[in-house]
Amino acid sequence: MKNLKENHMRNIWKAVLLSVMVMFSAVGAHAEEGAIRFSNNAFKQVISKSADGSVQYDYVEPGLVLPDDVILYEIVFENISTQDVSNIVVNNPIANNSSYRGSSATGDSTEITFSVDGKGFASADSLTVKDKTGRVWKAKPEDYTAIRWVYKKSLKPGAKSKVTYKTTIK
């Protein structure tokens, strides 16, 4: 029984790592070719309570990831050219083994939109889902399959910015 449980945990871990690697390799961006360098990071949320009852949220290297763990994804983009770069768009899929945590996407000077099919993007409040029977309803955060950030400013040479979001492992 112990061996079966260890194999199950190992398979979950492999699936999570594979999903994270696929997600990071699938980050798409639009800007002048070769002008922007991306780096991607994932952190596991660790909650600790102090003696006075206050709660602290820390983010650490993922290590072992289990269902219901919260993962913070950070995508840093840097202008490596000698000129200002504008029209920066970051597209990022949400891994299949996780659900987007509502209102967690951030990015200074960005417009954030979401997708339920990986193709069309809209604001969270105007996104809908349609099932096979034709029934339509307002999309929930767990329905999102991708996030898009449109950087609204020009990024100066050598400057960096970042976008983040959180998911919960299924």
Question: Which amino acid belongs to residue 50?
Answer: S
| Total number of domains constituting the chain | 1
Convert the pLDDT of each residue in 129-145 to its tens digit. 999 999 999 999 999 99
CATH number at residue 12: 2.60.40
Nearest to 32 by CA among 76, 85, 80, 78: 85
126: its two tokens? 């105007």
- How crowded is the C-beta side of 139, counted as CA atoms within 13 Å? 25
Residue 24: pLDDT above 80?
A: no
Residue 164: pLDDT above 50?
A: yes
pTM for this entry:
0.80
d(CA 40, CA 164): 10
In the chain, the percentage of residues whose pLDDT exceeds 90 is 78
Residue 3: pLDDT above 50?
A: no
Report the pLDDT value the prediction gives residue 17, as an integer from 0 to 100: 39
Reported as a pLDDT band with limits 50, 70 and 90, residue 34 is: confident
Residue 128: pLDDT above 60?
A: yes
Report the pLDDT value the prediction gives residue 21, as an integer from 0 to 100: 38
Domain hosting residue 57, numbered range: 2-169
